[in-house]
Amino acid sequence: MASAPPAKRRSLKPPLRIECARGQGRPSHFLGYGSNLSETGVFIQSLALRAPGTRLRLVMHLTTHGGEPIATDAEVRWVRRYGGKRAPSAGMGLRFLGLRPADKTFLHELCSAPAVRTSAEITPPIRTDRRTPAG
């Protein structure tokens, strides 16, 4: 049986602020920054790691999503502990559970679109001083 192709991923610059919803009318609290996003999950840079198998209610604030945050349940699949300044960021990989179809479509389109990279236009300096020959 052929497996599905891997989900397209998007590295986020700047990283995406992700909160953990507490429920029962209590405010959400900051969980970490999402730095690698796909329609199936996200890597969250964080030192507040949860054990694999832990289920969380995520709130992701995407400015390109019309101002409404994406809220979904997710499960911690793996963790990466702090390994020093030169090591990759500490954090955890989460898989989305029960993502709304509209949100899944939005994430699919976001991750499938080519990254737009623009750089500042640099005009070469124009010399205005004229040097006189020495002599």
Residue 123 placed within a domain: no
Please name the residues in contact with 17: beta carbons below 8 A apart, sequence gap of 6 or more.
30, 33, 34, 60, 61
Residue 30 lies in a domain: yes
| 94 lies in some domain | yes
Indicate the residue type of 122: I
pLDDT of residue 119: 45
Tokens of 106: 């939005």
How many helices (H) and strands (E) the chain has is answered by: 1, 6
Do the Cβ atoms of 101 and 57 come closer than 8 Å?
no
In a domain, 125, yes or no: no
Q: How confident is the model at residue 33, as a pLDDT?
A: 86
Structural domain boundaries, residue 37: 9-112
Length of the chain: 135
Domain assignment of residue 76, yes or no: yes
Count of structural domains, the chain: 1
Instruction: Please say whether the beta carbons of 32 and 61 come within 8 A.
Output: no
Q: Report yes or no on whether pTM surpasses 0.75.
A: no
- Answer for the pair 64, 103: CB distance below 8 angstroms, yes or no: no
131 domain-assigned: no
Residue 118 clears pLDDT 90, i.e. is over it: no
In a domain, 117, yes or no: no
Give 58's Cβ-side CA count (13 Å radius): 31
Residue 117 pLDDT: 47
* Assigned domain for 1 exists: no
Strands 91-97 and 41-45 turn out to be antiparallel
pLDDT score of 11 more than 60: no
Which range, 13-22, 24-33, 47-56, 61-70, has the best average confidence (pLDDT)? 47-56
Work out the pLDDT band at 79, boundaries 50, 70, 90: very high
Q: Output the pLDDT for position 3.
A: 60
Mean pLDDT to the nearest integer, 45-70: 84
Query: CATH number, domain at 52?
Result: 2.40.10.220
